[in-house]
Amino acid sequence: MGNVLVFGASGQLGQCLAYVAEARNTPGLVFLAEAQANILDPAGLAALFADYRPAYVINCAAYTAVDKAEDEVEIARKINRDGVENLARLCSEHGTVLIQISTDFVFAGTGNQPLLETDETVPISLYGLTKLEGEQVIAPLTNRYFILRTSWLYSEFAGNFVKTMLKLGRERDELRVIWDQAGTPTYGVDLAGCILHLIETQSQEFGLYHYSNEGLTSWYDFATAIFELSGTVVKTVPIRTAEYPTKATRPLYSVMDKTKAKTQLGVAIPHWRESLQTCLGRLK
CA distance 64 to 103: 10
Q: Please, which residues have CB within 8 angstroms of residue 242's CB and are 6 or more apart in sequence?
A: none
d(CA 19, CA 120): 35
pLDDT, mean over the chain: 97
The pLDDT > 70 percentage for the chain reads 100
Q: List strand residue ranges (DSSP E) for the chain, in order.
A: 4-7, 29-31, 56-59, 97-103, 145-150, 153-154, 174-178, 182-183, 186-187, 207-210, 217-218, 235-239
pLDDT of residue 262: 98
The residues, any chain, with a CB within 8 Å of residue 153's CB and separated by 6 or more, are 12, 13, 160, 185, 186, 188, 191
Compute the C-alpha angle 14/15/16, nearest 5°. Answer: 90
CA distances for 66 relative to 128, 225, 230, angstroms: 8, 25, 28
Query: How many whole angstroms separate alpha carbon 218 and alpha carbon 246?
Result: 17
- pLDDT at site 122: 97
Residues known to be catalytic? 127
| Amino acid of residue 9 | A
Give the pLDDT score at 67: 96
Mean pLDDT score, 177-201: 98
For the chain, which domains are there? 4-159+185-214+255-269 (3.40.50.720)
> The pTM is what?
0.97
For the cut 80, the answer to whether the pLDDT of residue 1 exceeds it is no
Q: How confident is the model at residue 248 (pLDDT cuts 50, 70, 90)?
A: very high
Tens digit of each residue's pLDDT (9 = 90 or more) over 89-144: 999 999 999 999 999 999 999 999 999 999 999 999 999 999 999 999 999 999 99
Decide if pLDDT at 34 tops 90: no
Q: If pLDDT is split at 50, 70 and 90, which confidence band does 35 have?
A: confident
DSSP 8-class letter at 253: B
Q: pLDDT-based confidence at 36, cuts 50/70/90?
A: confident
The pLDDT score that the predictor gives to residue 33 is 81
Query: What angle, rounded to 10 degrees, do the helices at 272-283 and 161-171 form?
Result: 60
